A and B are shown apart, each in its own frame.
Chain A
Amino acid sequence: MARLKVDPDVQFIRDLQAAGGESLKKCYQCATCSVICPLSPEENPFPRKEMIWGQWGLKDKLVNDIDIWLCHNCGECSDLCPRGASPGDVLAALRNMAYRSLAKPAVIGKWLSSAKYLPILFAIPALIYLIIWGFTTGLSIPEGEIVFGKVFPGDYTIDPVFGLVAIFVLFTFASAIGNLFKSFKESGYTPKEDAPSFWKSLLDVIKEEIVTHSKFQKCSSNAERYKGHLFLFYGFVALFIVTSIVAVGHWGGRLIGHEMHTPLALWNPVKILANVGAILLIAGLVLITRMRLNADPSKSVSSYYDWYLLGVIWAVALTGILSEILRLANVAALAYTAYYLHLISVFMLIAYLPWTKLAHLVYRTVALAYARQIGRKGLGE
């Protein structure tokens, strides 16, 4: 009989356990998970194989595994797991490790992997906006009507900072996506000749899966999370549209001499959309946070990556709403402070995006499109 030499990467096993896959070694390979998962395909189904790869420390197999992105973390496998090995958590941990390793520079990945680096992540934007505040009003609260632009002028502070951040994030993602494609090819999956193009697959994924959240609805364990994720998703879509309209209205308007001014009036449709987005965000946050707090620890445990993202979105939503309310209530000192914190939390959400769990919006989308190209889909899908 042929011998298979297994060369376990022990450090990788420890890292995987630390990244949220603590229960990994409880698995006894019954494959209940692979069967119960509606997204798991016929050939080489997941997540049973990832469990043994993880136990054996087969790093090369796992870092190139497209299946970790096909998993939508509904938790049905963990609910039915007879050993409490939580395959759902292990796949989430593998994604956490990917957030850390796909994008460069690696040091930011390290900062986002543990709560002990949180002060650094906070300090960077806190300092940037403190310096700006110092330059504009000498750290004092301006008199008169509350206009956040007095302290943080959009044109030469907010927009340049976030513009640079956006460029940084885009470049980071571009190189990370390159790494992701390379890893998929490494694992032996390549599109056949008659496969649809990547862009066609991407469009189909967005149309048929992301907009409708169709894959989210396939498990019964997922009902609460499905709703929460949908609210958060559309909350962000609304806020993204608002930000884009404001940016285009402001800079584009300047070119034609009809500049858009903020703050917008409350009855302005764009402002209404912004407020609807904020409410959706809060509703989604409440649902998801409640789900995570009520989760049975023998089935699933939330990782630091889960709490970081949830925490930052909470901070963005609360400081944003607080800024608006305090501004309308005309409490200047608190309003400017709330806005300062809002800028910090938005920075923490966007600038570190490729290394946080939110990066799944890029990586999973790419992986889903690639999975369509290579025809990888769940049994019965």
Chain B
Amino acid sequence: MSNSILVLGGGFSGLTAALEAAEVGYEVFIVEKQPYLGGRVAQLNKYFPKLCPPTCGLEINFQRVKKNPKVKYFTLAEVSKISGGPGNYEVTVKIKPRFVNNNCTACNKCVEVCPVERDCEFDFGLGKTKAIYKPHTMAMPMQYVIDSEVCTGTSCAKCVSACEYKAIDLEDKEKEVVLNVGSIVVATGWKPYDLANLTNLGAGQIKNAISNMQMERLAAPNGPTGGKIVRPSDGKEPQRIAFVQCAGSRDQNHLNYCSYICCMASFKQCTYIREQYPDAEIVIYYIDLRAPGRYEKFLNKVQADEKVKMVKGKVAKLEEDSEGNVIVTAEDIIAGVKKEETYDLVVLATGMQPSLDGVELPLDAEIKEGFVVGGEDKGIFAAGCAKMPLDVMTSAETATGAALKAIQTLVRR
């Protein structure tokens, strides 16, 4: 019998579930695939409900993790095998080599000498990093990491000689850890739906038609443009911006459900644009405007802005003109007119695809459209966007609930 809990995923839900359980005395292991904790929230510029920057909520949680000896976490880690049953699971975790140990002080000398560049995943390809890089400005752990797919390895090793702290080990190998836990919280979160699938919306090939998560990175002070919203193709300040709602959501050919928060995300991003460009004109194309619960107030606020127009009618065609502008075709349903309009920048409100969609996890829980919908009888509980599309606040609430159920599984045995 084990008195420990495994938490899959170290994003906002995973951190919350882990801390809730640890702070009442249970040992918790967080297994995180990325080289840092904080998940999708870390990539946002601001988040609901109070439009705080991510530092706000994550910083506190990171402090709690650091101070609590009951929370142990593994980054660059994935579960490869789970055996046993509720109360007594044996979990095998594979940890990829980071090539940088905890002597790292984030002095950045290694980056200065590294000759290899790569697309920055954290910025959704809008920026570049070196092969050795800091995951992001507030990464936890604050430890650099090497992308082994692009690093040329020991033949180069410039970073090794540049590092004064002997923090870099290019011979680092994959490790395996076996954990004994009684219950499991699945907080594997989501990924933005791949634009490449949206063939009629440019299939991700139109440079100035970006995803809403790319917009977050453009607006974020720690993003590729230092927080200035400009067109990716030429750095031009956009004056006419369109938002395309339900880009891949509520669509049986893509994600067959509403992703819950994309309408709100677009309204929020309207405020980013209006703060930077007081004269910019914004059009939001939608099927239905969805402002869950108290968020309606925020919708009303954005609707009151006369520079923001909302058009009922889904954009079903995007094209690029010779100057990099984006031509949007939609029917304004209320007016009964089908029109082509040209914009400087288009933001596709892409939906949330569960991280587990199409991924084989050694997990004995029912999964539907990628969401974990069962497993409670096995001591497996989903939290946050692994369970359903949610905002950060509700994700945290479901995480607290999942933590309690995970504890019950341990206690009732």
Q: Are A35 and B252 in contact (CB-based, < 8 A)?
A: no
Residues of chain A from 68 to 101 with CB closer than 8 A to chain B in the complex? 80, 82-84
A residues in contact with B237, CB < 8 Å: none
Q: A379 within 8 Å of B by Cβ?
A: yes
Residues of chain B from 293 to 343 with CB closer than 8 A to chain A in the complex? 313-317, 329-331, 333, 336-340
In the assembled complex, the Cα of A174 lies from the Cα of B251 at a distance in Å of 45
Q: Are A35 and B329 in contact (CB-based, < 8 A)?
A: yes
Q: Are B314 and A42 in contact (CB-based, < 8 A)?
A: no
From residue A220, how far is it (CB to closest CB) to chain B in Å?
Answer: 10
Q: Are B252 and A82 in contact (CB-based, < 8 A)?
A: yes
From residue A377, how far is it (CB to closest CB) to chain B in Å?
Answer: 12
Residues of chain B from 260 to 315 with CB closer than 8 A to chain A in the complex? 287-288, 313-315
In the assembled complex, the Cα of A340 lies from the Cα of B336 at a distance in Å of 54
Q: Are B252 and A30 in contact (CB-based, < 8 A)?
A: no
Q: A35-B331, A36-B316, A84-B252 are in contact. Are A30 and B338 (CB under 8 A)?
A: no
A residues in contact with B333, CB < 8 Å: 29, 31, 48
Q: A31-B314, A44-B336 are in contact. Are A80 and B331 (CB under 8 A)?
A: no
Among A40, A83, A84, the residue within 8 A (CB) of B338 is A40
A residues in contact with B252, CB < 8 Å: 82-84, 298
Q: Which residue of B lies closest to A43 (CB)?
A: B337
A residues in contact with B336, CB < 8 Å: 43-45, 49
Q: A34 within 8 Å of B by Cβ?
A: yes
Q: B102 within 8 Å of A by Cβ?
A: no
Q: A244 within 8 Å of B by Cβ?
A: no
Q: Are A35 and B338 in contact (CB-based, < 8 A)?
A: yes
Q: Which residue of B lies closest to A379 (CB)?
A: B338
A residues in contact with B314, CB < 8 Å: 30-32, 35, 82
Can you list, as one digit per residue, whether each of A37-75 has a CB less than 8 Å from chain B (1) or not (0)?
Answer: 000111111001100000000000000000000000000
Q: B95 within 8 Å of A by Cβ?
A: no
A residues in contact with B287, CB < 8 Å: 28-30
A residues in contact with B253, CB < 8 Å: 80, 82
Q: Which residue of B lies closest to A79 (CB)?
A: B253
A residues in contact with B317, CB < 8 Å: 35-36
B residues in contact with A35, CB < 8 Å: 313-317, 329-331, 338
Among A32, A43, A83, A379, the residue within 8 A (CB) of B316 is A32
B residues in contact with A84, CB < 8 Å: 252
For chain B, the count of residues having a C-beta within 8 Å of the partner chain is 23
In the assembled complex, the Cα of A84 lies from the Cα of B256 at a distance in Å of 11
In the assembled complex, the Cα of A44 lies from the Cα of B314 at a distance in Å of 15
Q: Which residue of A lies closest to B338 (CB)?
A: A45
B residues in contact with A41, CB < 8 Å: 338
A residues in contact with B339, CB < 8 Å: 42, 379
A residues in contact with B254, CB < 8 Å: 82
From residue A301, how far is it (CB to closest CB) to chain B in Å?
Answer: 15
In the assembled complex, the Cα of A33 lies from the Cα of B200 at a distance in Å of 12
Q: A35-B331, A80-B200, A80-B253 are in contact. Are A30 and B337 (CB under 8 A)?
A: no
B residues in contact with A34, CB < 8 Å: 331, 338
Residues of chain A from 1 to 42 with CB closer than 8 A to chain B in the complex? 28-36, 40-42
Among A31, A36, A379, the residue within 8 A (CB) of B200 is A36
Q: Which residue of A lies closest to B332 (CB)?
A: A31
B residues in contact with A83, CB < 8 Å: 251-252
Can you list, as one digit per residue, whether each of B329-370 has a CB less than 8 Å from chain A (1) or not (0)?
Answer: 111010011111000000000000000000000000000000
From residue B203, how far is it (CB to closest CB) to chain A in Å?
Answer: 14
Among B251, B315, B337, B338, the residue within 8 A (CB) of A82 is B251
Q: B236 within 8 Å of A by Cβ?
A: no
In the assembled complex, the Cα of A30 lies from the Cα of B340 at a distance in Å of 16
Q: Are B313 and A379 in contact (CB-based, < 8 A)?
A: no
From residue B369, how far is it (CB to closest CB) to chain A in Å?
Answer: 15
Q: B114 within 8 Å of A by Cβ?
A: no
Q: B250 within 8 Å of A by Cβ?
A: yes
B residues in contact with A32, CB < 8 Å: 314, 316
In the assembled complex, the Cα of A379 lies from the Cα of B341 at a distance in Å of 13
In the assembled complex, the Cα of A83 lies from the Cα of B288 at a distance in Å of 14
In the assembled complex, the Cα of A40 lies from the Cα of B337 at a distance in Å of 11
Q: Which residue of B lies closest to A41 (CB)?
A: B338
From residue A40, how far is it (CB to closest CB) to chain B in Å?
Answer: 6
Q: B246 within 8 Å of A by Cβ?
A: yes
In the assembled complex, the Cα of A32 lies from the Cα of B333 at a distance in Å of 11
A residues in contact with B313, CB < 8 Å: 30-31, 35
B residues in contact with A80, CB < 8 Å: 200, 253, 316
A residues in contact with B329, CB < 8 Å: 35, 379
From residue B324, how far is it (CB to closest CB) to chain A in Å?
Answer: 21
B residues in contact with A379, CB < 8 Å: 329, 338-340
In the assembled complex, the Cα of A45 lies from the Cα of B314 at a distance in Å of 14
Which has the most chain A C-beta neighbours within 10 Å: B313, B315, B331?
Answer: B331
In the assembled complex, the Cα of A48 lies from the Cα of B313 at a distance in Å of 10
10 residue pairs from A and B, CB less than 8 Å apart: A28-B287, A30-B314, A31-B316, A35-B315, A35-B316, A40-B338, A80-B253, A82-B254, A298-B252, A379-B340
| Contacts beyond the supplied A30-B250, A31-B331: 13 A-B pairs with Cβ under 8 Å | A30-B314, A31-B330, A34-B331, A35-B338, A42-B338, A45-B337, A80-B200, A82-B246, A82-B252, A82-B314, A83-B252, A84-B252, A379-B338
